[in-house]
Amino acid sequence: MTRHSKSNTRLFFYLVVITWFISALTWISVIQFLPSQTHSVNFSSTSNDWEQAVPENKLELPSFKEDPIIKLLQADLQDSSNLETELHSSVYDQIFKNHEISSVLSNLDFNQRCDLYFRNLYVADQNWKLDPDTQFNIDYNFEEFLEFRHKHYDEFKQEFYANRGGRDVKELANFIREKYNKAKENDHVQTIVEYLSTLRIFNKCYVTNDNRTQIEATKSFVNRQKTQILEAPAFVETKRERMTDFKSVGLNAFEHRVYPWLSFEYPLYEHWSGATFFDPPTLKTGQGYWGKRSTSKTYSSFLSEFKNKCNGKGLVLTMPDSHVDTVVNLIHLLRALKNTLPIQIVNFEPLSFDTKQKLVTAAQSDFITLPKSYDKVAKHLGSDYLGPGGLPKQEIWFVSVANAIDRHYRDKFKYFGNKFLATIFNSFEEFILIDDDTVMLQSPEYFFNIKKYQETGALMFRDRTSAFRKSDDCEFLKRLGPATIDSIMFDIPIMTDYSISRPFFDKLYHYIEAGLVVLNRNIHFNSMLVISQINFFSPISSKVYGDKELFFLGFAFNGDENYYVNTLGAASVGNLTDPQERLGPDDKPLRSQELCSSHPGHISDEDGHTLLWINSGFANCHYADIVDYSKEITFNTGLKFLPQDEDSFKKHYSSPLRIRNAIIPPYDGSIHVNVLGEPMRGWDQHKYCRGYTWCAYDIVGGLSTMGKVNRIQGSLIEYKEWEQNLFDYYADIWVGEE
């Protein structure tokens, strides 16, 4: 064969191959754009590389924060945050590396956006889960720290000597540790942001997605965005997104990844009569405990099904066996308040048989013999106050949540953690969560009828305005709320001044007193779920005291600002100190009034007068049984009306608190040093009652050392005689006075 004929043969072969290749590509492109039978209509697929998700146009898209659409939509947000500095889930980076923002917002409805987020989470890590055991320890001997120090040593050394002077090697080492701490804290913040972002989105997408109000709101939200975006390309799935069908394994398996600490079994609900229920009983008024409930057959999560089974109103608390006497007193008081709502006592550790018997006896025995103080209030309470068995009997339920928690995570709910389990697993739609030593001075129904609760479905109360926190703590916590992109994608609001301007974020250490919280599950279930989980994170829990602030922060971190905090700070309630015991430098009584008590009181901001509830029982000292009286009588700083001997202290501490006045101290975040001997701050802690005694002052400051008036005024409340008599009666009921 000649060279020329061989060349023609080779050319013909190449032409055939090229023609076949072009035909194949054409066939593939046609197949690509045929309607898919397994994906929603707004999705189409693309043939991107399986190993690495890249934009369809093969160009690196700029940061989504710079997108004009984001800027446009951010302008609509109330109190917009700084896009450049706020933190967000890294899943968004992956989504918007592959998709133009306008294509997502214009083509995907709310449910499709949910699926897109979690598809990309699976693409990033097939084995992802929200791990409650995430550790936030800093180990300075760890290889990571040594590498960090080696990498930045010269840079930090130069900065240290330039800014601080001196050549102390130990100080330099501490400086490097501070730098490492800051770097690790930033890592910790991002870790928590990833966790909370996914938690918020999952809850809204798959737990409360059947809420009619939410459905209408998200539909309106998506439609409004579509009208704002005039031009947008079609949304095209990446190959990895298309191949990630996370729903095929079932929603329960998916939910396990978000809530690995749940066993996905219901708690055990035991009525005082012995009747036992393995899912929430029907407690709506008039239906009885065996009322029938419709069961949804829709595709829903465990938590969604549980939420929908909860019903009625009631009181919720948790307690150990050792507090049985306190809870007996509480039940007696609820009878005196004519409570008609069921009471659920929720526990992780089972209560003993003896404890249950005492509680049932307190709730169900006839209560006919009343203290003598009843005579003074009988007319006020009405002729129908007493029934055939005396004070009304109470419906007690015991709720065991142990089987609802995965055994590997049961240590996550020790101590205060029981309260979070009680918040989630009580069976009420609306409930008042109380501590076992909470003393209500109004009927439970009164709290449900408070106007601000009815408007918001979440009512909280303030603590004493007594201590300050580090400003760094405040900045850390502010960064954990929803990001702008959460709001734009999922209509999860960012934190606004409604939350950020509160004294908590202005360095006030104690803000919320969580001894009584009123909640509507149907409105705030997602926030309740966030509250239960932020306790897992030591960088958060280490910055607050116990459970108090976590209720408020759970709402803020969830982007849920439909809550109300009673605007008045806690008061000190009891009796005013004799003015002759408080003399100034001129040996004359001070202008301020003092009220020392171990009981914070909570006064309605509707009238600035009505006392709603108090903490720490109703005896003068809630810890009378464990006080070291030999020490108490040596303090000699107060209680001067008592003989300074152990027997007198014991009798006083165990006696009922007599409420005649209340003082809400003023607070402006400053210390008011003055030359008049007046208090410099609103609260002063004393050693009495094991350090639980606090003195409050209605006036703070006077004349500064510079001769300027720095006086600020709080509130001094005097209760009328009939109110004092009513408080005395309730106190006698609680303590057991005859």
The tens digit of pLDDT for each residue in 367-419 reads 999 999 999 999 999 999 999 999 999 999 999 999 999 999 998 888 778 99
Does 49 score more than 80 pLDDT?
no
Average pLDDT over residues 73-96: 79
| Strand residues in 422-520 grouped as ranges (E) | 430-434, 439-440, 458-462, 512-520
| Domain ranges for the chain | 1-34, 252-285+310-456, 571-735
The tens digit of pLDDT for each residue in 609-632 reads 999 999 999 999 999 999 999 999
CB 714 within 8 A of CB 681: no
Q: Is 608 left (phi over 0), alpha (psi -120 to 50) or beta?
A: left
Work out the burial of residue 585: count CB atoms within 10 Å of its CB; fewer than 13 is exposed, 13-18 middle, 19 or more buried.
Answer: exposed
Does 76 score more than 80 pLDDT?
no
The tens digit of pLDDT for each residue in 676-715 reads 999 999 999 999 999 999 999 999 999 999 999 999 999 9
Return the bridge partners of 664, or none. 715
Q: Is 467 left (phi over 0), alpha (psi -120 to 50) or beta?
A: beta
Does 523 score more than 90 pLDDT?
yes
The tens digit of pLDDT for each residue in 154-191 reads 777 777 777 766 566 677 777 877 777 777 778 889 99
Does 427 score more than 90 pLDDT?
yes
pLDDT grade, residue 551 (50/70/90)? very high
Cα 110 from chain centroid?
26
Does 35 score more than 60 pLDDT?
no
Does 138 score more than 80 pLDDT?
no
Phi first, then psi, for residue 461 (nearest 5°) are -130, 155
Positive or negative CA dihedral for 306, 307, 312, 317? Answer: positive
Q: List the one residue out of 538, 549, 539, 476 whose CA is nearest residue 508.
A: 549
For residue 257, give Cα distances in angstroms to 20, 90, 307: 47, 18, 19
pLDDT at 48 (0 to 100): 35
